[in-house]
Amino acid sequence: MAATPSTSSQSSAPEERILVPFDDGTGKRNPLADVRNFGIMAHIDAGKTTVTERILLYSGRIHRTGEVHEGEATMDYMKEEQERGITITSAATHAEWRGCRLNIIDTPGHVDFTAEVERSLRVLDGCVAVFDAQAGVEPQSETVWRQANRYGVPRICFLNKMDKAGADFDASVESIRTRLGAKAFPIQYPIGQASEFRGLIDLLERTAYIYDEESQGRHVQEEEIPADLVETVDRLRLELVEAVAEIDDQLLERYLGGEELHRDDLLRAMRRGVIEGSIVPVLCGSALRNKGIQRLLDAVCYFMPSPLDVSEIEGIDPRTSEAVKRHPRLDDPFSALSFKTVADKNGDLNFVRVYSGVLEQGAQIYNAVRGKKERASRLMILHANERELVDRLTAGQIGAVVGLKNTHTGDTLCTKEDPILLEAISFPETVISMSIEPASLADRDKLGVALSRLAREDPTFRTFTDEETGETIISGMGELHLDVLCSRLKSEYSVACTTGKPKVAYRQTLGREVEVQGRHIKQSGGRGQYGVVDVRACTHDETENSFESSVVGGRVPKEYIPAVEKGLRNAAERGDPLGFPFVKCHFELYDGKYHDVDSSEMAFKEAGRLAFKEAVSKAGTTLLEPWMRITITAPEANLGEVLGSVNQRRGQIEQTEKSPGDAIRIYGVVPLAQMFRYSEVLRGLTQGRGIYSMEPFEYRAVPESIAKEVREEVLEAKQAKKKKKKK
């Protein structure tokens, strides 16, 4: 990376400071200028955790690496992660490099655990997107890239596994540009690829760096650029300089005037472009072979934004609903976002990002979402599963708080005197469910406690009791998601349980627009109950249900309108009689009646419920099922069989493209109900060489012939379980 002086070797803990330009007007350097809050994100098996291990090694945070394939990686500390060789939960750590404080979050790569990426990106200032240099952009690469786009997170790219057979630097860069729409420009170029990969070339410095494997990559030899790569390096350098010059008008004017631009000027402009999102630098290496990580660290320190570059965060004052801002300063009122909860028998551990002010140990704080006071009993910073107690957390830090009894993922923490509500974190709806039962009476009470803790930790995990059958139902993002959670019940909570077959999380919506009346009028001596509402119900494009009131003349008093909405929403969520929640519904309260004495919130809530029941009766229902985006990679020779298997499952093929080697990548959408155990089918069709991944796409209407079968099956099952329960 061109941000540091050229040296013939690099130690694991260099003393030079990377001086990122910063001036706060006082002549003193603000310590926050040297803080980097960033994450590592990628498709599964691209090497995220191995990259993080090497970062910790070279920064001196650990003194020996643990490999993912051996189940000994520092960041994969959960038993399930070690046994499966995948990252399941995001883990936080911290390190020092060239005077910069690095707060790092290693995120999962499997789509079933996408919520971990979502909540991490919500609080990070930047991220490193890791790609397998043989595969380029893969399905989950696109998913996490879209998540980063949503939160406006600056990125740099690292093409990992340059030593892997079939690695192709140029093709991978092109896939980043075409599939992700990124303005990606290499700032390095590999010397050799696959088994011949031995170093890299810094395009701005025009210097080659050869790694000594025996020193674990700590000793790097500077050499002249190999003659056969000079032309390629000159071409790429020219493209990079032109792209960087366009970021700064003065730089562009000098460049067009024929002036040779200084490296430092280019670096400053490039840093600005990264933070603005107008350029994405691409680096390369092999984390497993200890090549390229130190220069990746240099790039993180130089290009990634500090909390000062993020400048301010906006929210609303819950008292007035007016917009307010918080700045990353110690003298600003305290504000933080809780982005992750770890349930613990000794008290929940809440991961927080502090945006402004200071949080002292033992301080009383305010949860602006719940409207409750909390006490921060203990504060700590994290290194995987290790916890280091600290006296305070300050603006720009990522840490953890113990002692918060009413705080959940996405809640804002602040002071009672200066409250603020920050943007919450949104999570996708669950798409799969199954019944779960304790194996014995002794496990019954433990199961309820364990499920409650897992639900507090994971916002994409739901658990509820079917009131008609008495069954406990769990739902999540996929088969692997629920399989891992069930394994954790046994390994972490010592709860033995049995599960039913996975089922699709169907939804319902209204068949047509209707106008209905909900009447709840009861008189049985004393004060009665009186609530009448006229509701117009229809469907709309948004998945979430919505409500509005157009009542005039006080026909329904304002204080009762929220109760009507609650009654409608609760009934829609129950989804009687099938038990599938209603979505895509819009309710308009346009008229009603009330009684001066007998009306109450409870009466109007019940009237809302009855109005919904009447709407379902008059409008009928449409059954909806989750459709998934699917990406299949398979040998070209098996293309016909694979396409046929997707078509047989009511799938729709959108695109096919050539992948490295003799593989074809297939993109499409398919109903989840048809995809259970598809991995076994695909392995059979491709002699074990095919792989696929899915992510939620949208809900679509179920064909009526299938919908009829689903309804009959659900109602019959409920009746059978009712009879069994009575016996």
State yes or no: cis peptide before 577, omega within 30 of 0.
yes
Distance CA 317, CA 312 (A): 15
Q: How far apart are the C-alpha atoms of 142 and 150, rounded to whole Å?
A: 12
Take residue 241 and report the two structure tokens written for it: 């300089």
What pLDDT does residue 727 have?
A: 58
pLDDT tens-place string over residues 613-623: 999 999 999 99
For 317-326, give one letter per residue: b (16+ CB within 10 A) or e: ebeeeeebeb
Mean pLDDT of the residues in the chain: 88
Percentage of residues in the chain having pLDDT higher than 90: 59
The C-alpha atoms of residue 177 and residue 186 are separated, in whole angstroms, by: 11
E-strand stretches of 495-620: 497-499, 503-504, 507-510, 514-522, 529-539, 546-549, 585-593
* pLDDT at residue 692 in the model: 86
Q: Is the pLDDT of residue 12 over 50?
A: no
Residue 468 has a pLDDT of 65
Nearest alpha carbon to residue 349 among 310, 371, 318, 382? 382
d(CA 609, CA 590): 16
Q: What share of the chain is helix, strand, coil (3-state, %, to 5)?
A: 35, 30, 35
Instruction: Label residue 26 exposed, middle or buried (CB < 10 Å: 0-12, 13-18, 19+).
Output: exposed
Rounded mean pLDDT, 52-65: 85
Whether 40 contacts 300, CB under 8 Å: no
Residues 355, 330 contacting (CB under 8 angstroms):
no
Residue 213 has pLDDT above 80, yes or no: no
Cα-flanking dihedrals φ and ψ of residue 113, to 5°? -115, 30
Inform me whether the pLDDT recorded for 3 exceeds 50. no
User: Which of these, 1, 37, 697, 73, lies nearest to 384 by C-alpha position?
Assistant: 73
pLDDT band at 7 (very low <50, low <70, confident <90, very high): very low
440 vs 182: CA distance, rounded Å: 54
75 pLDDT band, cuts 50/70/90, is low
Alpha-helix runs per DSSP H in 551-638: 561-574, 601-619
Amino acid letter, residue 375: R
Q: What pLDDT shows up at residue 279?
A: 96
pLDDT bin (cut points 50, 70, 90) of residue 111 is: confident
pLDDT greater than 50 at residue 415: yes
Say what the pLDDT of residue 17 is: 42
Helix ranges (H only) for 260-360 are: 263-276, 293-303, 307-310
pLDDT over 80 at 640, yes or no: yes
Rg of the chain in Å (alpha carbons) = 28
Average pLDDT over residues 405-433: 91
Q: How confident is the model at residue 289 (pLDDT cuts 50, 70, 90)?
A: very high
Predicted local confidence at residue 709, as pLDDT = 92
* Relative orientation angle of helices 561-574 and 601-619, to the nearest 10 degrees: 50
Question: Which pLDDT value is given to residue 5?
Answer: 36
CB atoms within 10 A of CB 642: 23
Per-residue pLDDT reduced to its tens digit, 242-283: 999 999 999 999 989 988 888 889 999 999 999 999 999 999
> For residue 694, which of 715, 671, 716 has the smallest C-alpha distance?
671
- Residue 215 to residue 213: CA distance in whole angstroms: 5
Enter the tokens of residue 359: 């949080």
Q: Coil, helix or strand for 481?
A: helix
Predicted confidence (pLDDT) at residue 390 exceeds the cutoff of 90:
yes
How far is 67 from 364, CA to CA, in rounded Å?
42
Residue 29 confidence (pLDDT):
76
Q: Can you tell me whether residue 200 is helix, strand or coil?
A: strand
Which of 326, 397, 311 shows the shortest CA–CA distance to 359? 397
Q: What is the mean pLDDT of residues 535-540?
A: 96
Q: Is the pLDDT of residue 34 over 80?
A: yes
pLDDT tens track for 475-501: 998 888 999 999 999 888 899 999 988
Instruction: Identify whether the C-beta of residue 443 lies closer than 8 Å to the C-beta of residue 436.
Output: no
Interatomic CA distance for residues 86 and 75, integer angstroms: 11
CA–CA separation, 56 vs 690, rounded Å?
A: 34
How long, in residues, is the chain? 727
77-89 burial string, b = 16+ CB within 10 Å, else e? bbebbbebbbbbb
- Position 6 pLDDT exceeds 70: no
Residue pLDDT, tens place only, 124-177: 999 999 999 998 998 888 889 988 998 899 999 999 999 999 999 999 999 999
Give the tens place of pLDDT for each residue, 294-353: 999 999 999 999 999 887 899 999 999 999 999 999 999 999 999 998 887 667 899 999
